[in-house]
Each structure stands twice: as C-alpha cells, then as structure tokens.
Amino acid sequence: MHNQTPLELVRGNSKSIHASVIWLHGLGADGFDFAPIVEKLNLAQVRFILPHAPAMPVTRNNGYVMPAWYDLYHPSEPQQEDLAGILHSEKYLSSLIQNELDRGIASDKIVLAGFSQGGAIALHTAARYPHTLAGVLALSTYLPLKSALATEASKANLATPIFMAHGSHDDIISMEKAQLSRLTLQQAGFNVIWHEYAMAHNVCAEEINDIRLFLQGLLQQDLVE
C-alpha cells in the first residue's frame, strides 16, 4: 500500500513552528476532510499534518475500494480485527512522528489526532509509542486490539492527556463501544478526558471549541490575530 504525501497546513510564520498535530481522517475520506476544522481552530505556529489513507477493499462494504487505515469486517464478527492493517498504519503514523522529530519538533510537542478509524489508529499508536507525546485527540472512535493493551502499553504516555469525544446519537460507532474503550484505557493507567456531545457520527461547533482550548493548553499557543 502506498501513502500519498500528507497535506500540511500552517497559520502564521512557518519559520517559528514548534509544535505539530498529525490528524488522521475517517473511513472513505482523505486528508482534506479536516482542513476546514483546522482553519476554524486558527492556531499559530503549529504544523498540521493531514495524511491520506491508502485505498483498499473494505470487507464490511462488500469489498468496495476506498481510503482506509485498515480493513473492517462484518458487524456480526466484532472480535475479528485487521491486525496486519492496524500495525501497518501504526508504522506509517510512527514514521510521520519521526519526520517531525527530524524537523526539530520535540516529541512532547506532537499531538496525535484522528476521527473514527483515524482516531483508532491515533489511540493505538499513542498507547504504544515509546516517547512522551503532547496529547491525543480521539474523536468519535474506539480503541482497537483492546486485549493486547495490557501487555503492549508504553509507560511513556500514561500521563499524556487523551481528549476522547463521542456523540450521543452516533449510529456508526456505538456509545457503548466508545465507553468500553475509555474504560480499557483508564484501567491501563492512561489519562482520558471524556467529552460527550449531542451529535451523530460527526464533529460539532462546541466540540471544535473544546478542541481549540485543549490544544492551546497543551501547546501554549495563542490564536492567530
């Protein structure tokens, strides 16, 4: 599978960047999907990296080829997960983190973010990453490979703030599944900050504002004037 070059967005002076947010989109979308949200966040001196998932056949969607971070199987088989696909995307996300380190951004100034399937990869990767990250945005998502967390979790990010948000009307990823993921993370010692919104499987204005405040707190950034 080949990954296209990620979209990058910067507000303000690109020479004074000292923080990065790597933001993974959901199933069937691409890196441009969250570009309007990044614009609304209006944060200066932060590099937003919006990667594009490779196209692949998705079993749950009758083998239809679409951008995906890993394969999804039939809902009647909830225990069946695409281990190889998840690990491949974890490796790719880790390479994007390394790119930022190579550009002079400290690991504790890097945020992993993602929506739905992208959020699953962000959670999975952050929980195992060996160096301290600034934070995690896990939006309308869940933790994959939950049973492996106890033995694979890295202590480096136990205290890292995880902004986990879910819609009370989400009919794609159930609230029960999201809350079970939250509990699994908390039982492993991770610092989950839970947010619930009256929305479906999407992003709302209140959530965007909360994300802005969360990122400002993590990265100590001022709004662009």
Active-site residues, by number, are 116, 170, 201
Residue 164 forms beta bridges with which residues? Answer: 138, 194
Q: What separation in angstroms does the CA of 187 have from each of 64, 149, 159, 161, 176?
A: 37, 10, 13, 15, 16
Q: What is the largest CA-CA distance in the chain?
A: 50
* SS3 assignment, position 145: coil
- In angstroms, the CA 62 to CA 75 distance is 12
* Half-sphere exposure in the Cβ direction for 142 (13 Å, CA): 17
- In angstroms, the CA 78 to CA 30 distance is 25
